Structure 1
Amino acid sequence: MARLSESLAGGRNALAFLDMLAWGEGTSTSPATAMDGYDVIVTGIDRKPEVFKDFTDHPFAKGRASKVINSKGLTSNASGRYQQMLKDWPHYKALLKLPDFSPISQDMLALQHIRECRALPDVLAGRIETAIAKCRNIWASLPGAGYGQREHRLEDLLKQYRLAGGAMS
């Protein structure tokens, strides 16, 4: 469950959308997580789940090499509950004045991505299909993302959203 308060997130629908994203990215259901996905590092080509314990910064911020994630040599440093990329971290850390890569900071960053996709009003109003479509360029697990990774069916995402307490309009 998202750690941000309902009031800071903007409502129950925002928290449910975050929970749906974590399910979609596979972090909240990872067999390795001890923190509902907040501690998950992208799985590499070796298929070994990995977690991190130091939340002072993005796990790859100190120069760790990105992980090879497929046979074509594609690499990734996606980390945390919403699989945030290192390339985005310095900008958002400064913009949002995030003190660390803690669960609250990860929630704030994910909400900022949703806001920048102009999907937050849709999330808050329960227009989840529209919000998913607007956010698919950020999260590879959303239908139509086109990253060549596993994309979830819209019906499954909507089910997870409702299970997390979200309301549809």
Structure 2
Amino acid sequence: MCRAAGLGPGCVTTAAGAYQFIKPTWERVRQAKGARKRLVDFSPNSQDEAAVRLLDEIGATPLITQGRIGDAIKVASKTWASLPGSKAQQNPRALQYALDRFAEGLMLYEGNPGLEL
């Protein structure tokens, strides 16, 4: 990953978790803001909540709620290097792959609201 990002040998990244948060991003989105409480751990639930917060921050949430998933992916590709359209050159996936994974995730939550955007 480091070489693909243009970084030299010996590069160390802080990317971690299901969403590959880097430390500065995690520290920012985990803070309390408005009605949202500070995230106190790095559990799967906290990572999901942080991802929702980041989607809000970058303006992808309205696109998602409008069903404009392709547009949301385009916006989010500036943040997540593996999404289609990313300029990070870190093995981005094809748009259809991302849309298929979104559809699979949506089916998992049918009848179980899970996260609220």
Q: Please classify the TM superposition score into its range, dividing by the shorter chain length.
A: 0.7 to 0.9
**Cα 1:87/1:158, change in 2 over 3 Å:** same
Question: Equivalent residue for 1:90?
Answer: 27
Cα deviations by residue, 1:100-120 (Å, 9 ceiling, x for unpaired): 111111011101111111110
The code of the aligned residue for 1:124 comes to: T
The one-letter code sitting in structure 2 at the alignment partner of 1:90 is E
Q: Percent identity?
A: 31
Alpha-carbon RMSD: 1.8
State the partner residue of 2:54.
113
- The alignment status of 1:130 with 2:71, answered yes or no, reads yes
Please state how far the C-alpha of 1:159 moved relative to its aligned partner: 1.3
Q: Write the distance in 1 (CA, Å) between the matches of 2:44 and 2:15.
A: 15
Cα deviation code 1:38-67 (max 9, x no counterpart):
xxxxxx7xxxxxxxxxxxxxxxxxxxxxxx
Structure 2, gaps ≥5 residues long: 108-117
More contact order relative to length (CA 8 Å, sep ≥ 6): 1
Pairwise CA distance, 1:91:
2.3
> 1:126-149 deviations in whole A, cap 9, x for unaligned?
110010011111100111211121
Deviating runs (4+, > 4 A) in structure 1?
A: none
TM-score (norm 1): 0.53
Partners in 2 of 1:148 and 1:75 — Cα distance?
17
Structure 1: segments with no counterpart, 5+ residues:
1-43, 45-68
